Structure 1
Amino acid sequence: MSKENSMRGPALVFDNVSLKLGGTQVLDAVSFQVEAGALHCLVGPNGGGKTSLVRALLGQMPHTGSIRLDGEASRPVGYVPQLADFDRNVPMSVYDVMALLGQRRPAFLGSSRAARAANAEALQRTGVAGMGHKAFGSLSGGQRQRVLLAQAITPMPRLLILDEPTAGIDKPGLQLVERLVKELQDSGVTIVWINHDLEQVRRIAQSVTVLNQRVLLHGATQKLPTSWSTADE
C-alpha cells in the first residue's frame, strides 16, 4: 500500500527538550522534527541520551521542553524496547507474553479470539510463526526481539518506536525485520529507530539525528558522518 493511499502517521516535534538524572545532564535543549510517515534513525554514542529521549516521548521520564505529535496518532504507539534480561524459568508462552503486554481486558478472561488471530498473524510477519506455544524463555535473544516486534504491531500503530530491535538477530532475521519495517513505513507508519549500525542506517533511513546529550547533526541520511568524532567537530 502506498503512502498516497493510506493515512500517514504523526509528525514529531521535539522542542528544547532537556532531562536530568540525579545531577547528570542527559539531554540538553534537544530540538528537531521528524516528518510524518518518515523512517528516522537516532544514532550516537552509548550514553548519549537516545533511549532517554524515546522514554520521554513515551511519557516515561520527566523532562522540560515539549514533545508534540502532529497529525493522526489515535492508534496506540508501538514500542520495541532494548532486549532486556528475562528469567528463562518464568512459565509463560509467547502467546502468554503477548496477551499480557497487549491486554485490553481483565487478564483472567484471557485473549479474545480476534486478539489470538492477530497475534498469530504478527508472529508470522516477524518470522517466528509456530512459536506461539513455546516458552518465551526458551527462545534465543533474536527470536525474543522478533516476538516483541510482533507485539508492537498488534494492533497496527501509526507511530512505531524501535530501540535497537535487531540486536542479537541473525542475518536472515535482520533482512526480514528490515523488509517488514520498510513495508510499515511505505504504508504510512512514522518510525523512529535507535540504531548503532551506521551501514544499516544509510541503507534504510530517510533522515537521521546524531545525538550526544545535544543534537550534533540532523537531516538527510546522506549527511551522516563516518564516525562520532566527525559529527562532533
Structure 2
Amino acid sequence: MTAKETISTRPSGPADTESPVGASLLAKAVGQSTSLPNDTPQSRASSLPQGLGPTLDFAEVSLTLGRTRILDQVTFQVQPGSVHALVGPNGGGKSSLIKTLLGQMPHQGRLSLQWPGTPGTIGYVPQALEFDRGLPMTVEDFMAAMCQRRPAFLGLSKHYAAAIGEALERVGMQDKRKRRMGALSGGERQRVLLAQGLIPAPQLLVLDEPMSALDEAGIQVFERLLGDWRRSGITVLWIEHDLEAVGRLADRVTGLNRRVLFDAAPKQALTPERLLTLFSTHPRSAA
C-alpha cells in the first residue's frame, strides 16, 4: 500500500499553498513543527527503518513571473532514499523550484510524493538565516523557536530538550548552546540550521546550498550527516554549487538552467560538455 500527495495538476495560485505537501514544507520554512500528530521529538541520530523516504516527481513544472520564464517544463524524478543533487547557474531556477515545492510560488504542472506507507515528515534547511543580530537570542532559544510549538520566551520544553541537545551535539554546537546567535560565525550559524533540520526526524529533506558558509570542520559534519541520512533511507533533494562534492556524495544529479539539461549519475552528468551547456547563458539543448 502506498500513499501519494499531489501538489497541483493545473495552473496554481495562492490557494495551492494549502496543499498537504506545500503547506507542510512552508510550515517548516517559517519555523513551525511539521511532525505528524503522533510524532515524538527525536533527532536523526536515532535508528530509523530503511526505505522511509518518498519518491518525488516533478512533471512539466513551469513558472512564469511577469514576462520572465523562470522554469520551463521541468520534469525529473527523485528516487526514494537517495541523495539527489540539483546543480546549475545562479538565476537558473533552482531556488524557484524549491519555493514551488514549498508552496510559495505559483506554477503550472504537477508535483507529487509517492510515500511507501503513511505520509511522513518533510524537513527544510534554508541557505542562510536572516535575523537581527542584536536580538538577545541564544542558540538554544533559536532551536526552541524552530522545533517546539511552545513559545520560545517560555523556555525550552522538557519534551524537546534531549532531542535538541543531541542535534546540537551532532553538528558540534552543543558547547555553544548558550551563545547569542548574533555572535556566531557564518559557518556556526549554518551548523545550527542543520541542527534544526534534524528535529523532528524527516523522511524527505530539502537542502538549499547547506555547504555555502561552512568551514572545513563544518563540511566534514555535513558529509557525515549526509551519509547518515542515506543509510536511514531518507530522500534528500540537495541544491549545491560545489560540483566536486556533488560528484563524490550524490547518487544522481539534475542540471537545471530554466529547464532540465541532464539527469544522470554523477560520472555521466558532470562531464565538461554537459557543464559547459549548463552554465551557458542561453542553454543550447537538453542532453
Which TM-score tier does this pair reach, normalised by the shorter chain?
over 0.9
For residue 61 of structure 1, the aligned residue among 102, 105, 123 is: 105
- Say if 2:228 is the partner of 1:228: no
SS of the counterpart of 1:166? coil
User: Bigger relative contact order, structure 1 or 2, given CA contacts below 8 A and separation 6+?
Assistant: 1
Give the TM-score taking structure 1 as reference length.
Answer: 0.92
For residue 149 of structure 2, the aligned residue among 104, 108, 127 is: 104
- How many Å separate the matches in 2 of 1:185 and 1:153? 14
- How many Å separate the matches in 2 of 1:56 and 1:204? 25
What displacement does 1:6 show? 2.2
- How many Å separate the matches in 2 of 1:91 and 1:105? 18
Residue number in structure 1 paired with 2:42 = none
What displacement does 1:111 show? 3.3
Structure 1, gaps ≥5 residues long: none
User: Structure 2: which amino acid aligns with 1:25?
Assistant: R
- Say if 2:89 is the partner of 1:45: yes
What displacement does 1:205 show? 0.3
What displacement does 1:82 show? 1.1
For residue 165 of structure 2, the aligned residue among 120, 131, 135 is: 120
Residue number in structure 2 paired with 1:131 = 176
For residue 162 of structure 1, the aligned residue among 207, 217, 220 is: 207
Residue number in structure 1 paired with 2:235 = 190
* CA deviations over 1:50-98 (Å, ceiling 9, x no partner): 0111111121222111110111473331111111443210111111111
Is the Cα contact below 8 Å between 1:45 and 1:228 reproduced in 2?
no
* CA deviations over 1:106-153 (Å, ceiling 9, x no partner): 555443212121111001111212111110111111110110111011
SS of the counterpart of 1:70? strand
- Say if 2:247 is the partner of 1:202: yes
- How many Å separate the matches in 1 of 2:57 and 2:220? 30
- How many Å separate the matches in 1 of 2:144 and 2:170? 17
User: Structure 2: which amino acid aligns with 1:225?
Assistant: T
Runs of 4+ in structure 1 deviating by more than 4 angstroms, as ranges, are 106-109
- How many Å separate the matches in 2 of 1:85 and 1:66? 31
What displacement does 1:158 show? 0.5
Alignment coverage as a number of residue pairs: 232
User: Structure 2: which amino acid aligns with 1:44?
Assistant: G
Is the Cα contact below 8 Å between 2:83 and 2:235 reproduced in 1?
yes
* Percent identical: 50
Is the Cα contact below 8 Å between 1:164 and 1:194 reproduced in 2?
yes
Give the TM-score taking structure 2 as reference length.
Answer: 0.76
* CA deviations over 1:169-223 (Å, ceiling 9, x no partner): 1112101111111111111000011001110000000101000110010111112
Is the Cα contact below 8 Å between 1:157 and 1:189 reproduced in 2?
yes
Is the Cα contact below 8 Å between 1:122 and 1:150 reproduced in 2?
yes
- How many Å separate the matches in 2 of 1:137 and 1:21? 35
